[in-house]
Amino acid sequence: MTIAFDPKRLLGWCFDDKPHQYESRDAILYALGVGLPFVSGDTEDLSFLLEDRLRVLPTYAVTLASPGMWVKAPELGIDWPKLLHVEQSARFAVPLPPQAKVVGRARIKSLHDRGAVKGAVCVVERQICDAADGTLYCTIEQTLLLRGNGGFGGEEPPDARKPEPFARAPDLEETVAVSERSALIYRLSGDVNPLHADYAVARRAGFDRPILHGLASYGLAGALILLRFCDGRPERMQALRVRFAGVVFPGDAVRFRCWKTASGVSFDAYVGDRKVLDQGMAEIS
C-alpha cells in the first residue's frame, strides 16, 4: 500500500547523528574524483594530492557523514524516484584537517509547496563537527525538488530573484576536461548510486550512459575557484553555492566563466552551448 506524503512528519523528521572517520587517503581520493590535477607537473594542485603537504579541498565536507537515502523511508511518502537535487551550498567555518573523526547532524530546514505540477522544495541542513572537541567545520544545505509531492497546501517558496547577467567579459574563462573515469573514482567517496556507473540503470533513467555526480561538478567548481582565486589556500574559501542546471557526463569538457565580485566570485559553467551550472557564488577572503 502506498503511503500518502506527510509534510508534517517530514518537517519533524529526526536524523540520527552520523559518525564518520576519514584519513588522508580519503581526502586525496576525493581530490582525484573531482578532477585534480587540472595541470600536470610541479603545480599547486599537488598540495591536495600528496601526504607530506596535504591540504584538504573544502568541498570534501559535503561527502562526510551523509544521512544516506533517508528519502526512501516509507512512512514519509516521498515519491523518491522523481526527486531532483537542484542546489547545493556550504559554508566553511575552518579548514578540514588531513584526517579526523567527525559527526554529521542533519535536520529539515524548510519545506515549501510549488503546487501539484511543480512539486515541493525541501532544504536539508547538515553540520559537520569534530567528534572530539565539537569544532564546526562546515554547514551544508542541500536543496531537493520533490517533483511528486507538491500540492499539499503548504507555503510557497520565498521569491528568489535570479541575478542579472554580467554585462562585462568574464575575469576568467577556463575549460576543464572531465576524465572518462571521473564518476568511477568519485563514487569511492561514498555516493554509489548506480546511475553513475551502471549503463543499464542509466538507460532506464533516460541517459545513454552513466552521468557524473552533481556533487562531483560542485567539487570541480570549488577546486577551480580555490586554485585560481584563493592561491590554493582552503582558509580563504568561506562559502560555495551553485544550482545544477544540466547533466555532466564523464569525458565532457566543462567551460567555466568566472567574474570577480565585492565578496568573491560569481560563476557558471557550460558543456558546449548547454548550461550545466548556474548562479554559482563563492565567498572568499
Kindly report, residue by residue over 32-83, the tens digit of the pLDDT.
999 999 988 999 999 999 999 999 999 999 999 999 889 999 999 999 888 9
Residue 238's pLDDT is: 98
Residue 2's pLDDT is: 62
Q: Are strands 274-284 and 264-271 parallel, antiparallel or unpaired?
A: antiparallel
Gap between the Cα atoms of 125 and 198, Å rounded: 30
Q: Are strands 120-130 and 136-146 parallel, antiparallel or unpaired?
A: antiparallel
Domain(s) labelled CATH 3.10.129.10 in the chain stretch across 7-146, 172-284
CATH superfamily of 172-284: Hotdog Thioesterase (3.10.129.10)
pTM of this structure: 0.94
Choosing from 191, 213, 252, 268, the catalytic residue is 191
Gap between the Cα atoms of 91 and 239, Å rounded: 4
Q: Cell numbers at residue 248, please?
A: 555532466
Gap between the Cα atoms of 105 and 207, Å rounded: 34
Residue 4's pLDDT is: 87
Choosing from 196, 213, 252, 268, the catalytic residue is 196
Per-residue pLDDT tens, the chain, 285 aa: give them: 567 899 999 999 999 999 999 999 999 999 999 999 998 899 999 999 999 999 999 999 999 999 988 999 999 999 988 899 999 999 999 999 999 999 999 999 999 999 999 999 999 999 999 999 999 999 999 999 999 999 999 999 887 777 888 889 999 999 999 999 999 999 999 999 899 999 999 998 899 999 999 999 999 999 999 999 999 999 999 999 999 999 999 999 999 999 999 999 999 999 999 999 999 999 999
**269 near 254, Cβ under 8 Å?**
yes
Kindly report, residue by residue over 179-206, the tens digit of the pLDDT.
999 999 999 999 998 999 999 999 988 9
Query: Alpha helix locations (H) across 97-213?
Result: 182-186, 199-204
Q: State the fold for domain 7-146.
A: Thiol Ester Dehydrase; Chain A (3.10.129)
191 as an active site residue: the answer is: yes
